[in-house]
């Protein structure tokens, strides 16, 4: 592996840094975007069951907020109702939407960085290719032939060009795949949070009638 890095020359070092960063981001997102941390399957049913007859007290709401991102959104609506039992449906929705935007921002954290790596890695590989081509042309004779050129410099230029192109794609392709996967996962979670919020708002409105 070290011999490949040596053959690829100095342009590969930024690509190596991007690859390490991409792996770290993918691991972090896998840990953070777990269903149990975002939208536990039975949480909405439990909240609807508890709020069927009355609004839970503040201590229960605080506990709900700590459970997950979904609990945080639902708790914001219940807290608004505890603060002002006569708050309008619009105010209730606004409280939950505000918390939902904060949660959405948290779920989308680092996705832009992963997308940037996926976009920039091929360009960085192309830059290494250009550096390799410069090495190749530097190995040519003044008349344009390679006969009297430096074979070692020619081989080094070819290595730089090919290794950097390949490594740029090796970094970019998985980064793009994982970015699309996490993007779809976040969109699914946001839809779940939106639908759950809507169900809770409808039940709280019925409770107040």
For the stretch 163-187, pLDDT in tens is 888 889 999 999 999 999 999 999 9
**What would the pLDDT profile of 121-154 be if each residue is shown by its tens digit?**
999 988 888 887 877 776 665 555 444 456 666 7
| The pLDDT of residue 35 | 93
Mean predicted confidence (pLDDT) in 193-200: 94
Task: Please name the residues in contact with 74: beta carbons below 8 A apart, sequence gap of 6 or more.
Answer: 43, 44, 47, 64, 96, 196, 197, 200
- Rounded CA gap, 34 and 144, in Å? 59
| The pLDDT of residue 84 | 86
| The pLDDT of residue 146 | 46
Helix axes 151-208, 89-107, angle to 10 degrees: 160
| The pLDDT of residue 141 | 55
pTM of the model: 0.83
| The pLDDT of residue 4 | 63
Smallest Cα–Cα separation from 204: which of 115, 85, 112, 103?
85
- Rounded CA gap, 185 and 182, in Å? 5
| The pLDDT of residue 165 | 86
The structural domain count of the chain equals 1
Structural domain for 110, as ranges? 2-208
Smallest Cα–Cα separation from 158: which of 141, 175, 146, 170?
146
| Largest distance between two CA atoms of the chain | 93
* Class of residue 163 by CB neighbours under 10 A (exposed 0-12, middle 13-18, buried 19+): buried
**What would the pLDDT profile of 32-84 be if each residue is shown by its tens digit?**
999 999 999 999 999 999 888 888 888 999 999 999 999 999 999 999 888 88
Is the pLDDT at 3 greater than 70? The verdict is no
Mean predicted confidence (pLDDT) in 5-12: 68
CA 60 to chain centre: 32
- Rounded CA gap, 111 and 113, in Å? 5
Mean predicted confidence (pLDDT) in 19-24: 96
Mean predicted confidence (pLDDT) in 151-162: 73
**What would the pLDDT profile of 73-119 be if each residue is shown by its tens digit?**
999 999 988 888 888 889 889 999 999 999 999 999 999 999 999 99
Give kind and range of the element (H or E) at residue 13.
helix 12-32
| The pLDDT of residue 138 | 65
| The pLDDT of residue 147 | 45
The residue with greater pLDDT, 9 or 56, is 56
């Amino acid at each position: 592996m070290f011999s490949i890095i040596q053959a690829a020359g100095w342009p590969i070092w930024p690509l190596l840094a991007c690859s390490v960063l991409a792996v770290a981001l993918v691991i972090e997102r896998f840990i953070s975007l777990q269903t149990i941390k975002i939208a536990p399957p039975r949480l909405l049913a439990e909240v609807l069951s508890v709020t069927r007859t009355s609004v839970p007290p503040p201590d229960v709401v605080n506990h709900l907020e700590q459970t997950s991102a979904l609990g945080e959104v639902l708790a914001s609506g219940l807290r608004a109702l505890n603060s002002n039992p006569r708050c309008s449906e619009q105010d209730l929705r606004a409280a939950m939407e505000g918390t939902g935007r904060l949660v959405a921002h948290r779920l989308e954290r680092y996705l832009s960085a992963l997308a940037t790596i996926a976009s920039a890695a091929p360009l960085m590989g192309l830059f290494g290719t250009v550096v390799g081509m410069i090495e190749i042309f530097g190995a040519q004779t003044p008349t344009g032939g390679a006969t009297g050129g430096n074979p070692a410099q020619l081989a080094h230029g070819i290595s730089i060009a090919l290794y950097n192109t390949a490594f740029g794609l090796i970094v970019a392709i998985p980064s793009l795949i994982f970015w699309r996967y996490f993007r779809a996962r976040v969109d699914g979670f946001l839809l779940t949070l939106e639908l759950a919020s809507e169900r809770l708002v409808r039940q709280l409105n019925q409770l107040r009638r």
